[in-house]
Amino acid sequence: MAESEFLNKIILVDDDPAFHLIAKKNLKKIEVNVPFQSFYTGRELLQNIMDQKDEARPDFSNLVLLDLNMPDMNGWEFLEAFSQLDHSIQLGYYIVILTSSISLEERNRGLSYPMVKGYYHKPMNKNGIRGILDDYLAKVNPEI
């Protein structure tokens, strides 16, 4: 698939272990052969980003599927902390919100962050994930 040319990895940040399994299974069904990384809080992902900041590539090659409602550090807190990172680090991550919330206010708030490139609703089936990947490819390489 074309996404393997542009994607370094897909990162899911969600506190529901079952959702991680479902996402992994759906990625396999649509034959996405890109490394998949699981985090259960925004704090875990933020720490991982900081640990790898010297390896950051400013090419949006890390697709982050971010839940909003999590314990410890939720999606909102993660976005605030992420927005404080050096811009060159931020450019390595293509963040989409993936939530069960249907609040228009939350949607607008999420999309107000410059680093948030999309807002999608759970539950997510294989067609939904394919749609996120297609949107990602259209934005990072409009020639596809």
Q: Where are the domains of the chain?
A: 3-140
Looking at residue 142, what is its pLDDT?
67
CATH topology of domain 3-140: Rossmann fold (3.40.50)
Closest CA to 64 of 37, 43, 88, 99: 37
Q: What is the pLDDT of residue 114?
A: 93
- Of the chain, the percentage scoring pLDDT greater than 70 comes to 94
In tens, the pLDDT along 10-52 reads 999 999 999 999 999 999 998 888 899 999 999 999 999 999 8
Could you identify the residue written with the tokens 């919100």?
Answer: 97
Per residue in 75-87, pLDDT (tens digit) is: 999 999 999 999 9
Is the pTM higher than 0.75? The answer reads yes
d(CA 107, CA 124): 17
Compute the Cα dihedral for 70, 50, 128, 77 and give only its sign: positive
Tell me which amino acid residue 35 is: P
